[in-house]
């Protein structure tokens, strides 16, 4: 079964062009399933039954997984078995009647504008590290991008003259930013090559060794400043949620905000409706 899992992962990478995080999640989920089934004496996909899959789901629930995590494992299982069915490895999909547990969705966590401003004030901009960190936090809140998009941002994707970034996750979209983010990014770019860029890389945000900043590195930075700001519960997605909530609270159309976040197929381009920037400038607290 391991070979078929590898074939499926290759399909996700080469045909579906799935993100690294998505591929990693599928791979981990399926290897866990393969390990469980192997312990039950099921070593080939053709031997998988609905009963064995129900037993696996029960095992996940007893292992203390949340309904959301169990649902993700079931989604991975179903996608894999459908791939096997379509490619003739199995004659019937044994997961067809497997149902995911109901997931009660919690409202997204949001910081109010006062707490966001307090967070943004924490970096010490008399230091090169503080200048970089202020630029990261300002850009994150200014655009609502994901942390993966932030750390993968290239200098060539930042347009200071036009006040926008080009975000290339899955499909390209253009997201404006305001004066506060512009100043923070400009201040950082003024010192970036001299202080951080020792390896001539185009990644925008670098660590002290001149390498691309990692997700873990940013997470550590964010927690440090949140603690100083008196914010107990923080993660990059909370800033993303706050970006969206604050713009909507200030009158932005939900559809426009979704386009900024990349939630719809109507990706922002330079030729988008002319009022997009106007909406941003009128509704973002730091425009």
Q: Which two tokens stand for residue 260?
A: 């900024």
Alpha carbons within 13 A on the beta-carbon side of 191: 17
Which CA distances in Å does 226 have to 65, 116, 153, 220?
A: 28, 9, 23, 10
Q: What's the alpha-carbon Rg for the chain, to the nearest Å?
A: 22
DSSP helix/strand/coil, 266: coil
Which CA distances in Å does 232 have to 184, 223, 235, 239, 286?
A: 25, 9, 10, 14, 23
Is 240 a catalytic site residue? yes
What does the alpha-carbon distance between residue 73 and residue 60 come to, in Å, rounded to a whole number? Answer: 9
From the candidates 26, 56, 188, 280, which is the catalytic residue? 280
Is 134 a catalytic site residue? no
DSSP type of residue 176: E
End-to-end Cα separation, the chain, in angstroms = 53
From the candidates 173, 192, 240, 286, which is the catalytic residue? 240
Alpha carbons within 13 A on the beta-carbon side of 81: 25
Which run of H or E residues covers position 56?
Answer: helix 50-62
Which run of H or E residues covers position 254?
Answer: helix 254-261
Annotated catalytic residues are 240, 280
């Amino acid at each position: 079964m391991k070979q078929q899992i590898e074939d499926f992962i290759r399909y996700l990478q080469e045909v579906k062009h799935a993100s690294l995080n998505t591929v990693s999640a599928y791979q981990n989920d399926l290897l866990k399933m393969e390990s469980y089934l192997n312990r039950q004496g099921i070593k080939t996909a053709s031997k998988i039954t609905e009963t064995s899959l129900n037993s696996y789901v029960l095992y996940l629930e007893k292992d203390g997984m949340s309904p959301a995590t169990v649902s993700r494992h079931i989604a991975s299982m179903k996608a894999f078995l459908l791939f096997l069915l379509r490619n003739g490895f199995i004659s019937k999909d044994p997961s067809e009647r497997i149902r995911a547990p109901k997931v009660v969705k919690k409202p997204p966590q949001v910081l109010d504008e006062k707490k966001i401003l307090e967070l943004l004030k924490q970096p010490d901009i008399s230091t090169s590290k503080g200048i970089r960190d202020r630029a990261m936090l300002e850009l994150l809140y200014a655009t609502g991008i994901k942390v993966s998009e932030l750390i993968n941002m290239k200098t060539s994707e930042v347009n200071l003259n036009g006040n926008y970034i080009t975000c290339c996750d899955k499909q390209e979209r253009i997201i404006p930013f305001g004066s506060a983010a512009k100043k923070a990014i400009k201040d950082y770019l003024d010192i970036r090559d001299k202080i951080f860029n020792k390896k001539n890389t185009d990644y925008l945000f670098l660590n002290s060794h001149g390498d691309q900043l990692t997700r873990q590195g940013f997470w550590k930075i964010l927690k440090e400043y949140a603690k100083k700001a008196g914010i107990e519960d923080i993660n990059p997605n909370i800033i993303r949620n706050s970006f969206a909530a604050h713009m909507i609270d200030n009158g932005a159309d939900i559809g426009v905000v979704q386009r900024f976040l990349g939630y719809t197929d109507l990706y922002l381009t330079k030729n988008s409706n002319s009022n997009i920037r106007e909406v941003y400038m009128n509704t973002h607290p730091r425009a």
